[in-house]
């Protein structure tokens, strides 16, 4: 079982915590894949959609804890990968 990472009131308290052995806090279950966006975004696209679809897109983005525009971009990229 992993320990819960405490909340810190000061930067000093966090720095002291990071100096310790964190193996009890870090397990494979705590990690998730992360993608980085390196390519510059040069084009602006306006897209019309129904309010119902927009609400579903925003809801899906919130579940993944990301802005809805990034969610739309990532969804398009995944669809085009094949």
Kindly list the domain boundaries of the chain, sorted by start residue. Answer: 1-31, 35-82
pLDDT of amino acid 35:
76
Task: Give me the DSSP letters along 20-61.
Answer: S--TTT--GGG--------S-----------HHHHHHHHHHH
pLDDT of amino acid 36:
80
Domain boundaries 35-82, CATH class:
mainly alpha
Q: What angle is formed at CA 30 by the lines to CA 25 and CA 33, rounded to 5 degrees? A: 140
Q: What is the pLDDT of residues 5-39, one digit of tens each?
A: 889 999 999 999 999 888 888 888 778 787 788 88
């Amino acid at each position: 079982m992993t320990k819960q990472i405490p909340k810190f009131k000061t930067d000093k308290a966090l720095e002291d915590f990071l100096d310790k052995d964190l193996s009890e806090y870090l397990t494979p279950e705590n990690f998730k894949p992360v993608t980085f966006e390196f390519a510059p975004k040069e084009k602006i696209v306006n897209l019309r959609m129904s309010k119902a679809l927009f609400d579903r897109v925003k809801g899906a983005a919130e579940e993944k804890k990301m802005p809805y525009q990034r969610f739309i971009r990532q969804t398009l990229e995944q669809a085009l990968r094949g």
